[in-house]
């Protein structure tokens, strides 16, 4: 996953924790997809003047809702239930960092929101890869491999638009700072049966 440039890889032993509670990881994953769809729609609402961004984020929002549906289908097929929405401490820490970094301009707000989105997609993509390569459940292994490829595409889209619309901002330098911060955050996780836990 070198293209993601993440500083800290997930310990594959995290999958052992996941396997003890498949219902929990599936519920958490479903809500991650729902939040990703909501995030894409929020970006559209706040930046509707950028036609190309709206077009591409509509595609992402649809894909994320489809993924939500796919996870829900697996939950139903296994006789499980979609639990209540879970709090995502990892994403909340990234959101706090984003809020502290916005300088007040619309451009700064857009770039930070896009980099925040890219960061979550990058880590989700990496987690899906770890799951696909280490989980004993063959159906889920194949499922997470397919989703990993989709999430990688979303990550690239968010980063591309941050660079395109980040006029006057050194987006590549800012992305390096995001990667450094994310490594500090993720170091505390990997102990729960959730996508970012």
Taking only the tens place, the pLDDT of each residue in 59-101 is 999 999 999 999 999 999 999 999 999 889 999 999 999 988 8
pLDDT over threshold 90, residue 128: yes
What average pLDDT does range 34-47 have in this prediction? 97
Confidence of residue 2 (pLDDT cuts 50, 70, 90): low
CB of 114 within 8 A of CB of 162? yes
| 3-state percent helix, strand, coil for the chain, nearest multiple of 5 | 75, 0, 25
Select the more confidently predicted residue: 3 or 97: 97
Q: How far is CA 125 from the centre of its chain?
A: 7
**pTM for this predicted structure:** 0.94
What average pLDDT does range 11-18 have in this prediction? 93
Q: How far apart are CA 197 and CA 194, in angstroms?
A: 5
CB of 40 within 8 A of CB of 60? yes
CA atoms lying within 13 Å on the CB side of residue 185: 22
């Amino acid at each position: 996953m070198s293209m993601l440039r993440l500083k800290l890889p997930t310990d594959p032993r995290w999958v052992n924790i996941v396997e003890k509670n498949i219902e929990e990881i599936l519920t958490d994953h479903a809500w991650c997809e729902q939040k990703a769809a909501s995030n894409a729609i929020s970006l559209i609402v706040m930046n509707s003047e950028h036609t190309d961004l709206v077009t591409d984020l509509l595609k992402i929002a649809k894909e994320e809702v489809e993924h939500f549906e796919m996870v829900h289908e697996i939950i139903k097929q296994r006789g499980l239930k979609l639990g209540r929405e879970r709090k995502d401490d990892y994403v909340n820490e990234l959101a706090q960092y984003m809020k502290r970094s916005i300088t007040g301009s619309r451009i700064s707000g857009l770039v930070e929101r896009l980099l925040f989105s890219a960061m979550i997609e990058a880590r989700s993509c990496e987690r899906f890869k770890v799951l696909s390569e280490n989980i004993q459940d063959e159906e889920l292994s194949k499922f997470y491999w397919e989703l990993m490829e989709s999430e990688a595409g979303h990550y690239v889209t968010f980063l591309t638009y941050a660079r395109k619309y980040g006029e006057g901002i050194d987006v590549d330098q800012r992305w390096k700072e995001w990667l450094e911060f994310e490594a500090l955050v993720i170091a505390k996780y990997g102990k729960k049966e959730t996508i970012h836990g």
